[in-house]
Amino acid sequence: MYRVIEEESTLLYVDEGTMMSLSLMLCWTSMHLSHQMLYSSPNNSYGIVLRFTERGLAYAVNIAIYKEVPKWKWTKIINVSISNVNETADGVNYWIDKLILNTKPKEPKEGIPNSFSVTIDPTLRCLKVTALDAFASLRGKVQCHNLTGDEKQNCSVIVKTPWSFRVNIDRDKDGYLMSHMCNSTDKCAIPSSDPALYPTIEFSNCTRSEKKVCARGKSTFEELFIEHRLNETLNGLKKEACVLIEKFVNKNLTMLLRNKIDLIPNINKTFTIDLLMPKKPLYNESYIDTFHKGTVSWYTTDEIYKTTPISNYDLPYNNRMLYLWASGDTIKAFLEGFQIHGNLHQKITAEDLKNGGLNTTCQTGVCVGRLVPLLAEKYPNHYIDLDLYSLETPDVKFEQNLAVIKGKIVMFAYVRDPVQKHDIETIGIAKLNGKVSMQIKLWVNGSTLHAVVDAIDPYLENIDSSISDFNVQTVNFIIRSAVIVTVEPLLNEFGKTGFGIPVAHVELYNSTIELRKDIILIGSDLVHIEK
């Protein structure tokens, strides 16, 4: 028989559902990678791939401009106006008192960009950002006068003049995300050089006119106005505007990409993740893939845990805004950190079981004392407490969209007088060694990860006890009626509540999670929120 003096301690109880949740905290938005993640693996391998789809990039650009541009004094751009237009075309005089640029962008909602579109050019490795709607519409009132019939018509007029600039999203020499203007002839096109986006004029809300005066010379007026007035105004604006745009892209947007939100400089002050980029992004017509080291380190000691790099990745999806492809070893790295620092531990007391299964004396039903009479005789009206520890870093595999976690455990059983306080002497009665396998189902609902235990399968290898009859039958009863009955509901309660994915200013929706062999694949749409 051996005795153990228990001392009060604060223990971090971590279940496998939490382990899976931690993987989602790697990264979730294209706009924010932190300078603080400086821990690097010694080679150019990568453990995380992020896919930013065209729709996700468009949403991010709209949010960035909506939130950031008003902070800077771009008066030469946002205060553009054209006054006193007086032009005659095909016998119709067009008089416009003033045209004013509509500079108040709409905030994108539900993933729908409003003011800027984004297309990806894999050849130039650039994003073409085109201003539409608010930033490309001059609005005013026009009076059309028929010179021969002295008939007049009033209309609202919108001059649409899209403009664009090209941005390259890349990595700098140190592996940080950066942006700069593309090296192309149309890197800043005011107006757009795209024939499909040539300036146009639209009349609407016109007063009644039998001869439709404004429509009579519209095409000729459009040519004259665009050639002589609009292009002259835009050409005078272009040089200064493009300097400001280039400054925004090269400096402000780069800072925004890196530092706007410290996404995960640490995870609950426990882990850090290395998101440095060992290779350049891959450009496709529908998405951009970025590659990150994904090394996991202990927050307080910089202790690095081994992860297996991704040798190749098969990601056929692009219908969500963002995808995360992560090595399954990332989960094992979290478990290794918890294992090394003694945090994979669960304590079960007799009070945790409502049926009294861990009592040495029971009037009805089945308890440990009824199965082991010597225990009931020697310690009547006592409680049995259990301490479970992981002996080595658990292994993690993904099978049929289940997370399968296997590990070696040791369980100590103690007898305790419930009348006495918990911190007094307790008596060890058994040491049990074995293995455990746990299958967990995972799903994502919005910004919350949920989990449920599909199965727990323990396997005992050795029982060491001075109490006779403390045998396999007794231990199986303890495991089935105490350990599983206690641990599984705790895990499922956690899984039901879920684990919120802590990404500032971003809420996830339409989220999916897919577990492949040694791979975690997560897809989601995003919406910007103020917190």
Give pLDDT tens digits for 368-393.
888 888 999 999 999 999 899 999 99
Query: Nearest CA to 457 among 432, 430, 484, 475?
Result: 484
394, 515: one domain: yes
Residue 425 in domain: yes
Residue 351 in domain: yes
Percent of the chain at pLDDT > 90 equals 27
Q: Can you tell me the mean pLDDT for 413-440?
A: 84
Residue 453 in domain: yes
492, 364: one domain: yes
Long-range contacts of 362-368 (CB under 8 A, 24+ apart): 366/477, 366/481, 368/474, 368/477, 368/478
Q: Last residue of a domain, which of 233, 258, 283?
A: 258
Whether the full predicted model's pTM is greater than 0.95, yes or no, is: no
89-98, 251-260, 435-444: which range is least confident on average?
251-260
Q: Which amino acid is at 295?
A: T
Residue 100 in domain: yes
Give pLDDT tens digits for 394-408.
998 888 778 899 999
Give pLDDT tens digits for 462-517.
889 888 778 877 787 777 777 777 778 877 887 787 766 656 667 888 988 888 88
Give pLDDT tens digits for 283-304.
999 999 999 888 888 888 888 8
203, 308: one domain: no
242: pLDDT strictly greater than 60: yes
26: pLDDT strictly greater than 50: no
Q: Which domain holds residue 61?
A: 55-258
Q: What is the pLDDT of residue 7?
A: 31
pLDDT-based confidence at 531, cuts 50/70/90? low
Residue 273 in domain: no
245, 170: one domain: yes
pLDDT-based confidence at 320, cuts 50/70/90? very high
Burial 405-440 (b: 16+ CB within 10 A, else e): bebbbebbbbbbeeeeeeeeebbbbbebebebebbb
Q: What is the pLDDT of residue 264?
A: 45
Q: How many domains does the chain have?
A: 2
Residue 270 in domain: no
Identify the top-confidence range among 9-23, 145-159, 395-409, 493-507.
Answer: 145-159
Q: Can you tell me the mean pLDDT for 30-35?
A: 31
Query: Nearest CA to 384 among 408, 409, 361, 364?
Result: 361
326, 392: one domain: yes
106, 13: one domain: no
Average pLDDT in the chain: 80
Between residues 401 and 214, the one the model is more confident about: 214
CATH code for position 442: 3.15.20.10
Q: What is the pLDDT of residue 32?
A: 33
Q: What is the pLDDT of residue 53?
A: 95
Give pLDDT tens digits for 44-77.
788 889 899 999 999 888 887 777 666 655 655 6
Q: Last residue of a domain, which of 213, 232, 258?
A: 258
129, 247: one domain: yes
Quickly count: other Cβ atoms within 10 Å of residue 445's Cβ: 11
Percent of the chain at pLDDT > 70 equals 83
> Residue 322: phi, psi to the nearest 5?
-145, 140
Give pLDDT tens digits for 255-294.
766 654 444 445 567 888 888 889 999 999 999 999 988 8
249, 318: one domain: no
- For residues 128 and 377, what is the distance between their CA atoms, to the nearest angstrom? 82
Residues 6+ apart with CB under 8 A from 321: 52, 53, 55, 56, 59, 111, 524, 525, 526
214, 333: one domain: no
226, 162: one domain: yes
8-17, 414-423, 521-530: which range is least confident on average?
8-17
Q: What is the pLDDT of residue 28?
A: 29
Q: Last residue of a domain, which of 208, 235, 258?
A: 258
Between residues 265 and 175, the one the model is more confident about: 175
CATH code for position 245: 3.15.10
Residue 383 in domain: yes
Extract the tokens encoding 412.
Answer: 């100590």
Q: What is the pLDDT of residue 238?
A: 85
Residue 345 in domain: yes
435, 494: one domain: yes
430, 506: one domain: yes
Q: What are the distances in angstroms from CA 296 to CA 40, 309, 326, 489?
A: 9, 12, 12, 30
